[in-house]
C-alpha cells in the first residue's frame, strides 16, 4: 500500500510538471543518483550489528519555484555482516522510500546554493541471525542541510548531511551524508 502511494506521488509530480510547463518555467522535473553513507544508532541490543552502511539512492523530483523542489526517493543499502564469535553473527540491510521538500538559497558565486531539506520516509530494516531473521518497518522523519552547485542549467552536484529519526525498538536514528548528481529536464 505504501509503495503504491509513493508511486502515485511520483506520477503526480510528473503530471503536475507536464501540465505546468505552459504556465511557468519553474516546474521542471529532475532525476538524481546519490551515494549515501549512513551511521546507525542502535539501542539496547545484546549483539550489536555494524553501524556503517553504504547505499545508493535514486531521486525523482520537480522544481516548484526557483527556490524550492519536491523529491521522491528510494534508498537501498548493501548487506553488512557482523561477526562476534563463531555462533554470534548477523547480517543487516535496510531500504527506505519517501518524500522530501528542499529549499535553496543562492550564495555569492553563480550556481552555488545552500539548501535545507525536510521530509518523511518509510524505513525497512532486515536482520538475519544465525538461527532466524527479523524484518521491521517504521515511518520516520528526516531533515538536513547541504550545498548544491549547478554546472549548467541541467546538470548539478549536491552534498547533504541528514538526520533521520526512526524511533524503532532497536534502531533510534541514522546520521547520513549523501553526495550525488542531478539532471533537470
What integer pLDDT is reported at residue 24 of this predicted model?
A: 53
CA distance 29 to 8: 15
Residue 16, CA distances (Å) to 19, 52, 153 in order: 5, 38, 21
pTM: 0.78
- Of 182, 106, 102, 181, nearest to 142 by C-alpha is 102
8 Å CB contact between 63 and 27: yes
8 Å CB contact between 34 and 179: yes
In the chain, the DSSP E strands lie at: 29-42, 52-65, 68-77, 80-83, 89-106, 112-129, 132-150, 155-165, 171-184
Instruction: Walk me through the domains of the chain, giving residue ranges and CATH numbers.
Output: 2-184 (2.40.160.20)
Mean pLDDT of the region 145-173: 91
Structure letter (DSSP) for residue 5: H
∠ CA 52-30-17, rounded to 5°: 135
What pLDDT digit, counting tens, does each position of 75-133 carry? 999 888 876 655 567 788 889 999 999 999 999 878 899 999 999 999 998 888 777 77
Residue with cell 526557483: 66
8 Å CB contact between 147 and 139: no
CA distance 181 to 71: 14
CA distance 69 to 75: 19
What pLDDT digit, counting tens, does each position of 32-43 carry? 999 999 998 877
CA distance 81 to 156: 34
Amino acid at each position: 500500500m505504501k509503495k503504491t502511494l509513493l508511486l502515485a506521488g511520483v506520477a503526480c509530480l510528473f503530471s503536475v510538471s507536464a501540465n505546468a510547463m505552459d504556465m511557468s518555467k519553474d516546474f521542471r522535473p529532475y532525476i538524481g543518483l546519490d551515494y549515501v553513507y549512513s551511521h546507525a544508532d542502535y539501542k539496547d541490543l545484546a549483539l550489536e550489528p555494524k553501524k556503517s552502511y553504504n547505499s545508493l539512492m535514486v531521486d525523482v523530483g520537480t522544481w516548484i519555484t526557483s527556490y524550492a523542489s519536491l523529491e521522491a526517493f528510494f534508498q537501498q543499502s548493501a548487506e553488512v555482516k557482523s561477526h562476534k564469535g563463531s555462533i554470534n553473527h548477523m547480517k543487516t540491510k535496510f531500504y527506505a522510500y519517501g518524500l522530501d521538500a528542499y529549499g535553496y538559497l543562492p550564495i555569492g558565486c553563480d550556481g552555488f546554493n545552500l539548501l535545507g531539506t525536510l521530509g518523511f520516509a518509510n524505513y525497512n530494516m532486515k536482520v538475519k541471525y544465525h538461527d532466524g531473521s527479523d524484518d521491521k518497518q517504521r515511518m520516520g522523519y528526516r531533515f538536513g542541510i547541504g550545498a548544491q552547485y549547478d554546472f549548467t542549467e541541467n546538470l548539478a552536484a549536491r552534498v547533504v548531511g541528514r538526520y533521520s529519526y526512526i524511533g524503532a525498538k532497536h534502531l533510534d536514528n541514522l546520521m547520513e551524508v549523501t553526495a550525488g548528481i542531478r539532471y533537470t529536464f
